[in-house]
Chain A
């Protein structure tokens, strides 16, 4: 059998298209279907030109092809409102769901921190948190893996051009979800998230600042090593993930200053915030594929 997991992408917008371009280079995941709701949409036309099978009537337009085409993994880049139904229908057919919406019905997944655990347990729905979460939670975890963090705070600054109407209409969802994942995945007792939208032209690269308060005096050498190691882990799937300054220490406060440059596939390089979401989503599916190939997990039975 082929080691590649066959995939459906739901949502042919910026995220879905960028994901498709990355997936075409993947050794572990093969894009087969692109699903939209508007037959006239640029995204669906583009996907068709790129050789994808397309449905313009949502996932209902392709559910009967899931088994025949051996679709094993789905990426949902639509909205929190429709995600639950998409996930239920595809999970029933044994398709693993990678959720790029803020719905978060499954556990949060930040690849270098907890993906291995989710994959080994064959979680059928994992949520990719938020762009700010993907960029910062690895750093919170790098500190909390060394010693207890009683408070973790992240500040994500994104270019105005890189955030769409969905995020803008519900920016509280970003702050709440990210803060929750700083705790649940980052390992801080209490989390806080701040997002700043900057309209400068030319657009600025995504910037992220992470502050942690450790319970005891920080072990500077161990934290510095842990941070550098974690940066390398993220760079495996986001090469433009860069430590600009830090870690710097001030009493029990540990601060790191990050920049995220995208690969510039479909989205411009400054949109590192979107790139890190698609790259993390793909990395997640690849890990499931690797584990299945190695026999550590067994994908749902199919007749």
Chain B
């Protein structure tokens, strides 16, 4: 693989996807410290919100320590070069949240839908594009359908006004060949001006390899998270990816030692649990289950005595999609009843 001179825009997820791993409890001080560290290291784009995006604050996903508005207002004024992005899942957040984010100074809106439901994003993508924001269509759980289906849905988002399309491996299920096929088809069929992105999870240990495959196939935006802080076994660990890109002479613009230090000195000390491929995270990847289900399944195991792994496999079998966290406790209750535990 030759990535010499290829321009890669790195997008940090630690303050959004990482919120899942922190049960949405990062403090404003922690957010500011990490984001200023990333800005200083040369990371161009940093995502900040509740783990489930704008408006994710809920009993279902968890109430955060602060509102999205408070986090955005704390971080954005401190940025020297980095821009800030916000995620929005239609059905959870609304265009009201989108306008709030824009008013806070958010540069990039990423509108996320399940990989077959792009048509619920029309009003949000349309609004963000109309407000002249960097507008991204984010197709989640992209492993569940064919490359042709992803292309069909990507074209819808492109038609609503998205200037960048993401192939999102929310379950950390994909292997590099699948990434190459999907990104490759998008690259050959979408408008040449439309940027492509890849968002990986490390549940099968493939996040770095998948991200490289994505760049090789034509993606120029790659999501990662400093120290991997993210749902499941975490996102593509950014400091590792930067080192790999360095060795491959790709053009990423990030200071390797500085981002290593952010990972080691700021992020690792605040982790509530090691972010690693434990048996439950591995099950997410293996069974193709949404990564943020991990801690919910582990809590259900503690509460009802049903193995998290069994819960996750059954959720995969049922074809659950992102956002269905409520089904975890429901399923644990049903399984516990069947086993006579309650």
Interface residues of A (CB under 8 A from B): 151, 153, 155, 157, 160, 165, 168-172, 174-176, 192, 194-201, 204, 207, 209, 211, 213, 244-246, 248, 253, 255, 257
The smallest beta-carbon distance between A171 and chain B, in angstroms, is: 5
A169 and B90 CA atoms in complex are apart in Å by 10
A204 and B321 CA atoms in complex are apart in Å by 12
Q: How many A-B contacts are there with CB distance less than 8 Å?
A: 93
A168 and B156 CA atoms in complex are apart in Å by 13
Name the segment of B91-99, B231-239, B242-250 touching the other chain. Answer: B91-99
Interface residue B33 (Cβ < 8 Å from any Cβ of A): no
The smallest beta-carbon distance between A48 and chain B, in angstroms, is: 32
Q: Is the CB–CB distance between A168 and B119 below 8 Å? A: yes
Query: Which residues on A sit within 8 Å (CB–CB) of B319?
Result: 198-201, 204
Q: Point out the residue from B59, B91, B95, B119 that lies within 8 Å of A253, measured CB to CB.
A: B59
The smallest beta-carbon distance between B46 and chain A, in angstroms, is: 26
Q: Point out the residue from A171, A192, A195, A204 that lies within 8 Å of B58, measured CB to CB.
A: A192
Query: Which residues on A sit within 8 Å (CB–CB) of B333?
Result: 245-246, 248, 257
A172 and B329 CA atoms in complex are apart in Å by 27
Q: Is the CB–CB distance between B119 and A169 below 8 Å? A: yes
Known: A170-B123, A245-B330. A198 touches B324 (CB 8 A): yes
Interface residue B132 (Cβ < 8 Å from any Cβ of A): no
Q: Point out the residue from B90, B320, B330 that lies within 8 Å of A257, measured CB to CB.
A: B330
Q: Point out the residue from A155, A174, A197, A245 that lies within 8 Å of B60, measured CB to CB.
A: A155
A157 and B325 CA atoms in complex are apart in Å by 11
Q: Is the CB–CB distance between B334 and A209 below 8 Å? A: no
What 7 new A-B contacts, CB under 8 Å, besides A169-B123, A244-B334, A253-B59?
Answer: A168-B120, A169-B122, A171-B91, A172-B90, A175-B94, A200-B320, A211-B59
- A-contact 0/1 string along B314-331, CB 8 Å cutoff: 000011110110110110
A209 and B326 CA atoms in complex are apart in Å by 7
Q: Is the CB–CB distance between A245 and B334 below 8 Å? A: yes
Q: Is the CB–CB distance between A151 and B116 below 8 Å? A: no
28 residue pairs bridging A and B, Cβ less than 8 Å apart = A155-B60, A157-B324, A157-B327, A160-B116, A168-B117, A168-B122, A169-B122, A171-B90, A171-B123, A172-B124, A174-B91, A194-B58, A194-B323, A195-B91, A197-B114, A198-B319, A199-B117, A199-B319, A207-B330, A209-B330, A211-B59, A211-B60, A213-B59, A244-B330, A244-B334, A245-B330, A255-B59, A257-B330
